[in-house]
Chains A and B, each alone.
Chain A
Amino acid sequence: MNKTDEKLLDEILGNNVHDADAYNIRKNGEGIERKVNPYIDIVPKEDGSGLDIYVKENTLFGIVHIPVIITESGLTDIVYNDFHIGKNANVIIIAGCGIHNDLHQDSRHDGIHRFYLEEGSKVKYVEKHYGEGKGNGKKVLNPITEITMKKGSYMTMDSVQIKGVDNTIRKTNATLYEDTTLVINEKILTNKDQFAKTDFKISLEKDNASTHITSRSVATNSSYQEFNSNIIGNTKSYAHVECDAIIKDSASVKAVPEIYANHVDANLIHEAAIGKIAGEQLTKLMSLGLTEKEAENSIIHGFLK
């Protein structure tokens, strides 16, 4: 790995990949480093399309890193990673993609991550997307996350995309069975003429399934963002979706809520708010000595923290 690779890994992982209990680093479409242990196995799929990650039942506090880096302009990389989380296992999975594109051809990564949570398992999934480079080739990321949660399982998904990605369509589909909880926190910042669209489709299939989705986004310059969420409550269930966006300059943000209660005990809530930074917030921080620009940055930083 060269310095560019290491910088990309730092951006998406936030810590040293080699400290993880298990990891697989994929660069320009090929696995370049892998580590497994007796509890967490990472197996390449036979057709080369991706990985199967197996976490044994009752594994406690395992940390798994599955980063992808792309430094080759013009490359389209599609990968299917399946995470099989055994009964009562408790793991942290950090994934994401960093693209460095200094040339004029588009670089694209489509990561399809499928999670199968067995009974009583817990997963904290952190996904970060990052793009950099001086060329005018676009950096395109289209992550798809599919989640199946069996009885008593719990999952949080933190998804972050701050600048640098020109075009993204993110899809998250989940099916929740009894006594399960899925918590999703999404943070997106777009600038220039970037495009970001996120689609959530969550089906609450069995009693006491619940989901909490919080999306906070900032759209600046002439960028465009779209937030779609579709929650279906087929049983006694609970959902709370909160979409908040700060809009600046000539950016556009569209939020499309859809909640479908198909059971008398389905309790589904959707809140959406889009607006510019409140003048009173700027005034308060400026009264503490910050310039208008510093105040604005502090508000955005806090909002996306």
Chain B
Amino acid sequence: MLELKNICFERDNKKILNNINLKLDTGNFYVVTGPNGSGKSTLAKIIMGIIKPDSGKIILNGEDITDKPLNERAKLGIGFAFQQPVCFKGITVYDLLVMATGKEIDRQEACNILSKVGLCALEYIDREINKSLSGGELKRIEIASVIAKNPYVAIFDEPEAGIDLWSFKNLIEVFKDMEASSKGITLVISHQERILNIADQIILLDQGNIKKIGTKEEMFDSIVNSSVCKKGGPNCE
């Protein structure tokens, strides 16, 4: 179980996360949704250890990991797929998958992982993770790196962002498989209805607060009516 206790995070006098309390149970597929600026990505990064909360505690299976650095949390079983995949010069897809698994895997094992995200493995395995790959390809490789790591808590920050409809269709299948087979906790930040449909539980964030948690059926009205800027335009406040 992953538990967040009284997590607060403030920047530029704005409360990004306001006393968040949350319990995530093993075996569940959670989707965090909410308007832009509601604190979704910040919440995910705080769990991974990419940013530190101003106050509060993070407990993973009874262990306080609040002060543990990013790489130690990774070793304790937390994985994170970035919204904007990182490019490298010289590091190949195979290299990244070896680092993700933390052991020497052979090319066949690497190919099997890539196949799970719908990439024709032989075409990609030796390619550098650089800008010659499309946004959709980079995104799938990013997701593959988390699948390869096989973490207890798998976090995906807007996996659908920046990918085309065709790739998105495949992506949904990837998450459906994950939902069916995962023995840990999956936490996906998303606005997409088809990802919300897979969720065991949906967490609705609004202005740094958890507005509601529930099943899709329980949440539908809240999501549709969640606060959005009513004014719009350049003078929006």
Which A residues are within 8 Å of any B CB, using their own CB?
A: 216, 244, 278, 280-281, 283-292, 295, 298-299, 301-305
B50 / chain A contacts, CB cutoff of 8 Å: 283, 287
Find B71's partner among A292, A299, A302 (CB 8 Å cutoff).
Answer: A292
Q: Can you list 26 A-B pairs with a CB-CB distance of less than 8 A? A: A216-B90, A244-B89, A278-B86, A281-B86, A281-B88, A283-B86, A284-B82, A284-B86, A286-B74, A287-B70, A287-B71, A287-B79, A287-B80, A288-B99, A289-B102, A290-B71, A291-B71, A292-B71, A298-B91, A298-B95, A298-B99, A299-B91, A301-B90, A303-B90, A303-B91, A305-B90
The chain B residues found within 8 Å of chain A, CB to CB, are 48, 50, 69-71, 74-75, 79-80, 82, 84, 86, 88-92, 95-96, 99-100, 102, 145, 149
**Majority-rule SS of B interface residues:** mixed
Q: Which of A281, A288, A292, A295 contacts B100 (CB 8 A)?
A: A288
A41 vs chain B, min Cβ distance (A): 38
Whether the Cβ atoms of A302 and B70 lie closer than 8 Å is no
A283-B70, A302-B95 given; A289·B75 CB < 8 A: yes
Contacts of B99 in A (CB 8 A): 285, 288-290, 298
In-complex Cβ contact of A302 among B74, B79, B91 (8 A): B91
Nearest 7 CB-CB pairings of A with B = A302-B90, A302-B91, A289-B74, A284-B86, A286-B71, A303-B90, A286-B70
A271 CB → nearest B CB, Å: 12
Closest chain A CB from B208 CB (angstroms): 23
Nearest residue, chain A, Cβ from B142:
A284
Smallest CB–CB gap between B41 and chain A, Å? 13
* C-alpha spacing A304/B100, complex, angstroms: 21
Contact status A288-B74, CB under 8 Å? yes
Other A-B pairs beyond A287-B80, A302-B89, 12, CB < 8 Å: A244-B89, A281-B86, A286-B74, A287-B50, A288-B79, A288-B102, A289-B102, A298-B91, A298-B95, A299-B91, A302-B95, A303-B91
Question: Within the complex, what minimum Cβ distance (angstroms) separates A22 from chain B?
Answer: 32
